[in-house]
Amino acid sequence: MICFVIIPALNGWVADDNGQTPWVEIDLIENKLIGGVVTWPRGDGYKTHQYVKTFNIQYQAEGEAGFKYYMESGNIVVSIALLHLHGLLTLYLQTFVGNENVEDVVLNGFPKKIIARHVRLNVLTYFNRPTMRLEILGCEKRELSPFNLSKGLTMCTFSCATLCEQ
């Protein structure tokens, strides 16, 4: 069982202030079976209120030519320029809810697991500045068991044991 802790540092990831759509991309070095993402707000003692409110996810497996967008109904490779041209980008893509304050940890489990080496979180909305700490949850070459948060587990007690078979 393996959990991929990606950006747990105090301040986490902070987007450049260049006016473009912010995103953070993680290279897992090799293909992994991914079952969810956990996000936190900026962690500097909560003096700076900054966090990502909503995002979507793109991913790419090793050897694939392009990124796919995560969608519960199926994953597709899309032309962003074409979707923006027709105003359809937000119509088809899965939007994940991130943080709503500077205290809570948010778990977004994937009902449909993905195999990926590269995972990209595209920020859609944020509070003050696009900033987050995050974990990517998954297993290495094993099947994921279904998420089971109904047996008294909360996001605070959630662990990789509920994701990966041992």
Tokens in use for 51? 């966090």
Q: First CA to last CA across the chain, in angstroms?
A: 6
Integer Cα distance of 105 and 165 in angstroms: 24
Write out pLDDT tens, residues 29-70.
889 999 899 998 987 665 778 999 999 999 999 999 899 989
Query: What does pLDDT average to over the chain?
Result: 74
Can you list the alpha helix ranges (DSSP code H) found in 41-144?
80-86, 89-92
Query: b/e map of 36-49 (b: 16 or more CB within 10 Å)?
Result: bbbbbbbbeeeebe
Superfamily in which the 2-144 domain is placed by CATH: Galactose-binding domain-like (2.60.120.260)
Residue 78: is its pLDDT beyond 90?
A: no
Q: What is the pTM of this model?
A: 0.73
Are the CB atoms for 39 and 158 separated by under 8 Å?
no
Are the CB atoms for 126 and 52 separated by under 8 Å?
yes
